[in-house]
Structure 1
Amino acid sequence: MNLKGRHLIDPSDFTLEELNQIFTVAQDMVDIPEKYDKICKGKILATLFYEPSTRTRLSFESAMLRMGGKILGFADAQTSSVKKGESISDTIRVVDGYSDIAVIRHPREGAPKLASEFSQVPVINGGDGGHQHPTQTLTDLLTIKTLKGNIDGNKVALCGDLKYGRTVHSLIKTLSRYKDMEFYLVSPPQLQMPEYVKNFVKETYNVKIVETSKIEDVIDEVDILYMTRIQKERFFNEEDYLKLKNSYILTADKIENAKEDMLIMHPLPRVNEIDYSVDKDKRAVYFKQAKYGVYVRMSLMAHLLGVI
């Protein structure tokens, strides 16, 4: 399968077979990193981050550097010509003359899609508003595939901010494409998964969805617990945030009855939704998950650049 020159704006841009190809190479990169340490020599990644990021930006930069390539870009749009009023379409048309591939994070939904329509190089969506976060989804899928052995047939609880959380929107849409999936949506009423997302996965893939406001109701049922933080930056006023910020705090006693092989995942950063005592539990894999993000982004860029 040739992915050269493609964009990744939404996980549905790739077939499951194409995703599996990316995961297979990513796992090989984990096992034999030296095999790939020069494949992007002479290639340049542009990182255009209009919104704060640690893991996404640094993992992309680490990924390109590990493959022998170079990076340029900005981590604060206020240091770029955006401050002068430059449009994203003009920015990408300039930057694609400086680079071979670009990753864009933007607070406005649809901005990476717009950039891809003007770009001569592959564009990767590094997160757009509360909409999508496809490379986090690829990270999550590689983590599940590697640690569970299989993505099909898992019961997955998504907990926390399901209204604004772009990571869970991308994840549930993509996981629904796999066989025999079941979902438990755990959130306060104010932060429930949007109806359009639930309707899409139910009508398109006929998956089972159960909604609850209590994590204790589902903890002994699930194979994967995917925690998310209550995102202060998505609220219009601080009072609403303060009412909800402590809705879910996962502690060691709350997972006593969970399955021995359950995975506790989190896209990070965490605030207080996972107590530090949980870090010692073998089921807590969120830091492994973050590391897998480097390798899946290595594989993705290598495929889009056509160097493998």
Structure 2
Amino acid sequence: MEKIAESNEYSNDLKGKILGMMFYEPSTRTRLSFETSMKRLGGSCIGFVGIDASSVSKGENLADTSKMLESYSDAIVLRHSLEGVSKFISDIVDVPVINAGDGAGQHPTQTLLDLYTMKKELGKLKDFTVSLVGDLKYGRTVHSLAYALALFGINMNFVSPKELSMPDEILHDLEKNNISFNQTNDIKDILNNSDVLYVTRIQKERFPDVEEYSKIKGAYLIDKKLIEGKNLIVMHPLPRVDEISHDIDNTKYNTYFKQAFNGVPVRMAILNTLIKNKF
């Protein structure tokens, strides 16, 4: 898939197939990488981003919109602000439904590309430590990633302000499965014990109180001075705001742009599996 994603090879595996895109929340990388993936495989995309240009703005409910898109497409990619909504829709339509992020819940395809990036960069998916940094309460990417890393027995550090710590239910699940993790609010505590810094932004849009966001924003800044001399890589699901300094962009630590590219071959593989293999 990588060679196809780089335009070095071509594929018509999904020629004549259509991917339905339902993005109720803003998206850049996830949406564009799914569109790119479908087109790289010879397929096409339809759908909407935001509700203003769709009948949702007229009051059409989610179930009806999904049933309509089901009749037009071979699979649906859904991003929504409500947790669990992708599972709900998958129960009422007969085409594959891919969760592209459900509020502060999960983001499973991001996790697959994250695991792929770690394996490419570190050469393995075992015997290393990942430090998840930033918004662990509302960050759906770290929720999915924590569960996935646990499947491989990978050690984890959770670094966040107290107000944005990893949800108790996730910590409970990890403890129940004897997964090792450490919690701290001081990033300097874990720098010598990290192979991957997985940084996330503080998500203003998830805060019920903007004043609370203002108190916490900018809690961490990963810059060259902080990590210079450390043997680690820096990942980020993007977009970044002020949590990773641009002075890291041209260093060996920067893995977040490679990570963004990896979303294309990984999502190509997902689409090929769900659509081509279905028929």
Scaled by the length of structure 2, the TM-score of the pair is: 0.96
Alpha carbons 1:228, 1:266 under 8 Å: kept:
yes
The alignment of Structure 1 onto Structure 2 pairs a total of residues equal to 278
Written as runs of structure 1 = structure 2, the 5 A alignment for 1:6-25 is: none
Distance of aligned partners of 1:74 and 1:290 in 2 relative to their CA distance in 1, 3 Å threshold? same
Partner of 1:34: 9
Written as runs of structure 1 = structure 2, the 5 A alignment for 1:199-210 is: 199-204=172-177, 206-210=178-182
Question: How much does 1:102 deviate?
Answer: 0.8
Alpha carbons 1:220, 1:257 under 8 Å: kept:
no
Question: How much does 1:88 deviate?
Answer: 1.6
Q: Distance in 1 between matches of 2:52 and 2:148?
A: 34
Alpha carbons 2:5, 2:264 under 8 Å: kept:
no
Q: Does 1:295 align with 2:268?
A: no
Q: Distance in 2 between matches of 1:146 and 1:263?
A: 12
Q: Distance in 1 between matches of 2:102 and 2:77?
A: 11
Q: Distance in 2 between matches of 1:32 and 1:57?
A: 19
Structure 1 unaligned spans of 5+: 1-25
Distance of aligned partners of 1:235 and 1:97 in 2 relative to their CA distance in 1, 3 Å threshold? same
Q: Deviations over 1:204-244 (max 9, x none)?
A: 2x111111111111111111110000000011122111111
Written as runs of structure 1 = structure 2, the 5 A alignment for 1:1-308 is: 26=1, 29=4, 34-35=9-10, 37-179=11-153, 181-204=154-177, 206-259=178-231, 262-307=232-277
RMSD value, Cα? 1.5
Question: How much does 1:43 deviate?
Answer: 0.5
Q: Distance in 2 between matches of 1:253 and 1:62?
A: 36
Partner of 1:16: none
Question: How much does 1:80 deviate?
Answer: 1.3
Q: Distance in 1 between matches of 2:152 and 2:218?
A: 33
Scaled by the length of structure 1, the TM-score of the pair is: 0.87
Question: How much does 1:31 deviate?
Answer: 7.7
Structure 2 unaligned spans of 5+: none
- Give % identity: 46
Q: Distance in 1 between matches of 2:247 and 2:201?
A: 17
Structure with the bigger RCO (C-alpha within 8 Å, sep 6+) is 1
Q: Distance in 2 between matches of 1:236 and 1:255?
A: 33
Runs of 4+ in 1 over 4 A off after TM superposition: 26-33
